[in-house]
Amino acid sequence: MPTHGPSSPPAPGAADERQLFDRIDLHLIRVLHTVLTERSVSRAALRLGMHQPAVSTALKRLRELSGDPLLVRNGAHMVPTEAGQRMLEPAANVLRAAETLFTEARSFDARTSCQTFRIAASDYLDPLFLPRLVADIQRQAPLTRVEIHALTRDGDYRAQLALGEIDLVIGNWLQPPDELHMARLFSDEVVSLVSRDHPAVRRGWDEASWLAAEHIAPMPTHAGARGIIDQVLDGMGLQRHIVVRSAYFSLIPDMVANTRLVLTTGRRYGERVAARLPLVILPCPVAIPPLLYYQLWHARSQHSSSARWLRERTREAIAALQSHAPESPTLHPCPQPQPARRQTP
């Protein structure tokens, strides 16, 4: 009669892996993701609302658990190791799943939700838009938290949406990215903003004098990028004379008010700042199509009830400001070709 050998033992390391998993909690995952994202223990501590020694202790545990330094010095900066970089997206997925584990099991209740909404937006929208949106969210969902992130040359909003680091992006593009969901918010006429003492206020301008004027423009969002105005001009074979670029768009109107600089932007933004500064809105003599503003989100949040609620608040905030728009400052007309029609999504 054949004899049967003893049953096979568990695979080597299986018990150890189970014990390792039991030592990992959601707090450690949050610390891991924040430290790797911020690339700094001190900045991670500020973002997490923790004392720096506590973050250092958690990072030490994470290094012991992973057997990897996770974050190492590279010159004057800290950078994730290869293992740390590979852990970034899974950590974001875990945190997002945990955040929605129970809230998505039931319909979103704005009165009781404690989640955090993360919005990345341009600062060249209507200056009253973000204050209005935040006030609406706080009034209707008083227990939630809101983070407003800048759209900067240091951030990749597509990757941030995919990783769940932000929930919504608001801005304007000639052609929004195809891989993201979008909803159009509004369109805005392109105008030029100048000081009341600018020669064009008295003399007007044509295409040639407008192109030759001293223009100010925002800093490109990334190396080699072109702003929408300059992309349109490129397509026409035209180039304006930009003498100043600023990473701080909100300060540009004050620069224009005391110089002969020209800011070309949307009428809505121009009307808001012209109401408080000695500025005049002039028609743009080049046929630049209206600026189109969108809200963008990733497929991962397409059916999220809380994300849908946030998108609806965004739409309502824009609509409310449109219905209470200020009267336009007196315009000084000058010869201008009719704007070309443009296909919009």
Give the confidence band of 76 by pLDDT, cuts at 50, 70, 90: confident
Q: Mind listing the domains of the chain with CATH numbers?
A: 22-86 (1.10.10.10), 103-187+293-323 (3.40.190.10), 188-290 (3.40.190.10)
Q: Report the C-alpha gap between 215 and 296 in whole angstroms.
A: 30
Per the model's pLDDT, the better-predicted residue between 301 and 217 turns out to be 217
Lookup: tokens for 12 = 């080597």
Q: Report the C-alpha gap between 338 and 345 in whole angstroms.
A: 22
Q: Report the C-alpha gap between 119 and 168 in whole angstroms.
A: 5
Give the confidence band of 22 by pLDDT, cuts at 50, 70, 90: low
Q: Report the C-alpha gap between 63 and 337 in whole angstroms.
A: 64
Give residue 16's pLDDT: 59
The enclosing H or E element of 118 equals strand 116-121
pLDDT tens figures, 235-276: 999 999 999 999 888 899 999 999 999 999 999 999 999 999
Measured N-to-C along each axis, helices 129-140 and 305-323 cross at an angle, to the nearest 10 degrees, of 130
Q: What is the pTM of this model?
A: 0.67
Rounded percentage of the chain residues whose pLDDT exceeds 90: 57
Average per-residue pLDDT for the chain: 84
pLDDT tens figures, 161-206: 888 889 999 988 888 888 899 999 999 999 999 999 999 999 999 9
Q: Report the C-alpha gap between 13 and 185 in whole angstroms.
A: 55
Give the confidence band of 108 by pLDDT, cuts at 50, 70, 90: confident
Angle at Cα 295 formed by Cα 290 and Cα 298, nearest 5°? 140
Can you tell me whether residue 26 is helix, strand or coil?
helix
Rounded percentage of the chain residues whose pLDDT exceeds 70: 83
| Nearest alpha-carbon partner for 204 in 32, 31, 58, 332 | 332
Q: Report the C-alpha gap between 324 and 262 in whole angstroms.
A: 27
As a whole number, mean pLDDT of residues 39-44 equals: 92
As a whole number, mean pLDDT of residues 195-223 equals: 91
